[in-house]
Amino acid sequence: MGIGYLPTMAGRYGDLDYPTLTKRGVLLGLGLFAVGAFGEFALAHTGVAVPAWEHALLVDAEWLGVLLALLSPFVFGILLPLTE
């Protein structure tokens, strides 16, 4: 404990870095959307026959990516910091 040491208090949810969580959540959501959209695009243009579950998986990745990219700023940027 030298000069200038200030103990940090952990918040209600621990010591979370909200800006980093927000950015990573948005990037993960955009990545999921990109993988799903590129997969659907590639399957449609190559004409490869794939099972229905693979199409469902790619569409679900797109939806989950959109939801994650839209909700991450609200949850980690607004809601959780306000409730501490």
Domain parsing of the chain, residue ranges: 18-83
How many angstroms separate the most distant Cα atoms in the chain?
Answer: 68
- Residue 2's pLDDT is 55
Give the C-alpha separation, 28 to 21, whole Å: 10
**∠ CA 73-76-77, rounded to 5°:** 60
Count of other CB atoms within 10 angstroms of residue 69: 18
Residue 35 structure tokens: 């993988």
- What pLDDT digit, counting tens, does each position of 32-47 carry? 999 999 999 999 999 8
Give the C-alpha separation, 4 to 6, whole Å: 6
pTM greater than 0.75 (yes/no): yes
- What pLDDT digit, counting tens, does each position of 50-72 carry? 999 999 999 999 999 999 999 99
